Amino acid sequence: MKRFLCEKTDDEVRKAILDAAEKRFKQYGFKKTAMSELAEDVGMSTSNLYRYFSSKLDIAEAFALRCFAEKEIGLQLLLEKPLDSAVDSLVVYAKGLLQYNFDQLYVYPAINDMIMALCEASSEMVDKKREGELSILKVILKKGQEEKCWEIDDLDETGLAIMASWVMFSTPTFMRHQTLEQLEKRLSNLLNLIITGLKVRE
Amino acid sequence: MKRFLCEKTDDEVRKAILDAAEKRFKQYGFKKTAMSELAEDVGMSTSNLYRYFSSKLDIAEAFALRCFAEKEIGLQLLLEKPLDSAVDSLVVYAKGLLQYNFDQLYVYPAINDMIMALCEASSEMVDKKREGELSILKVILKKGQEEKCWEIDDLDETGLAIMASWVMFSTPTFMRHQTLEQLEKRLSNLLNLIITGLKVRE
DNA sequence: CCACTGAATATAAAATAATATATTCATAGT
DNA sequence: ACTATGAATATATTATTTTATATTCAGTGG
């Protein structure tokens, strides 16, 4: 026996495993998908999975990274329309993020389980998620600076403050209690506030 | 047998039950305090508790209302110093709220259980909590309006937007991952943002 | 009639036993 | 030497029983 199923490369095998994992994780969550099921899905023994991923958590993390990448690609696409001012970009980004989070929650029955499992087991993934979203936000903030329409002392701190203010719009517990319309309205008001500020303008 | 323990009024008995409940709820949480324990604490039979509260949840709600009142009194006290501008008031309020939430989390081992139980069982209490905090915030916002230093279209919507942005600073899950200093720094940046706004000022 | 209790019940929690699963490893085929 | 497997094990999940608890109510003493 030289190679798994018709001479696939390691990366191809890893991808096959991840594809199977993605389906099961999204539908059944972390705890309720078994390594043996993934093995069966890709047609190998359970023990052989460990030649491609060091653990179940390792698979989950790879799955999360794939989700993050997909999400970021989708959001970048929304932001590429060149007509947007920095204000428009910020609004598009914030609303896109909300829409994405909301959709995931309702399209994939077990995505919440998955998030909980990953948050508990891997603070690294929590950091990666924040860093990914923050880096896009910082591009928008910088654009605002360059357009001379925003005044920002510290891009990082401001970005983190904004992300902190968005927690309600990315946390399943809070999203579950409101409709998308309600969330969008609230986010819209918050964005206006962040952009304009409370202080009167002369 | 005419009256419970030396002719107490209904309100006094209710208070005695609530005092016992407060101690146990704070230390052991909702699920791990038993009606029979409360009954023993106040020296009556379990069944007699039901003459004063309709259910265990009813006791927990009364406890929550007491906590809310205590918290609001403490915050009002912080805000009473007359020297504060609206900006100062907002900062004092936000930081006071954070400090209060953070303290509770570390002083009372079971407060998180208690919060979770109440949030799950009684959306009414969740609303009451928000309404209480919102009403104080609105007083501050109105003060800023009157001082002509803030421009606010809709007090309610603006208040709700600000409250939404503070979710990270009042949710145990998020607070647990950061020190008070980190949280204060982040909140401080957010408050600056909300007050000043991103837009350049001429 | 009123304030209260103890037994009764239906439900929820804890403890336990039974099962399934993640991970390892010695071994086999190529 | 490389790829893969099945059996072994320790851990985690599920199913089951047992126990505790919330709530009700008929009844007791004043």
The correct CATH number of A63-196 out of 3.40.50.620, 3.40.190.10, 3.40.630.30, 1.10.357.10 is 1.10.357.10
Please tell me the predicted confidence (pLDDT) of residue A15. 95
Average pLDDT in chain A: 93
Residue of A nearest to B196 (CA): A197
HEC profile for chain A? CCCCCCCCCHHHHHHHHHHHHHHHHHHHCCCCCCHHHHHHHHCCCHHHHCCCCCCHHHHHHHHHHHHHHHHHHHHHHHHHCCCCCHHHHHHHHHHHHHHHHHHHHHHCCCHHHHHHHHHHHCHHHHHHHHHHHHHHHHHHHHHHHHCCCECCCCHHHHHHHHHHHCHHHCCHHHHCCCCHHHHHHHHHHHHHHHHHCCECCC
Residue A82 has pLDDT above 90, yes or no: no
Please tell me the predicted confidence (pLDDT) of residue B9. 83
Rounded to a whole number of angstroms, the distance from the CA of B109 to the nearest CA of chain A is: 20
Report percent pLDDT > 90 for chain A. 88
* In contact, A168 and A143? CB cutoff 8 Å: no
User: Hey, where are the domains in chain A?
Assistant: 63-196
Cβ–Cβ of B164/A168 closer than 8 Å?
A: yes
Q: A109 falls in which pLDDT band (50, 70, 90)?
A: confident
Please tell me the predicted confidence (pLDDT) of residue B11. 87
Å: B19 CA to C18 C1' = 44
Residue A1 has pLDDT above 60, yes or no: no
Phi and psi at residue A43, to the nearest 5° = 75, 40
What residues pair up with A199 in beta bridges, in sequence order?
A: B150
Q: A108 falls in which pLDDT band (50, 70, 90)?
A: very high
The answer to whether B171 faces chain A, any CB pair under 8 Å, is yes
Q: Which residues in chain B land under pLDDT 50?
A: none
Instruction: Provide mean pLDDT across the span A135-145.
Output: 96
Q: A106 falls in which pLDDT band (50, 70, 90)?
A: very high
> Which nucleotide comes closest to A117 if you measure CA to C1'?
D12
Domain B59-196: CATH class, spelled out = mainly alpha
Please tell me the predicted confidence (pLDDT) of residue A81. 84
What residues pair up with B150 in beta bridges, in sequence order?
A: A199
Determine the protein residue whose CA lies at the shortest distance from the C1' of D30. Answer: B1
Q: Of residues A44 and A81, which shows the higher confidence score?
A: A44
Tell me which residue in B123, B162, B199 faces A150 most closely, judged by beta carbons: B199
Please tell me the predicted confidence (pLDDT) of residue B8. 80
Please tell me the predicted confidence (pLDDT) of residue A10. 81
Rounded to a whole number of angstroms, the distance from the CA of A163 to the nearest CA of chain B is: 9
Residue A84 has pLDDT above 80, yes or no: no
Please tell me the predicted confidence (pLDDT) of residue A28. 95
List bases, strand D, within 7 Å of protein CB: 2-7, 12-14, 20-26, 28-30
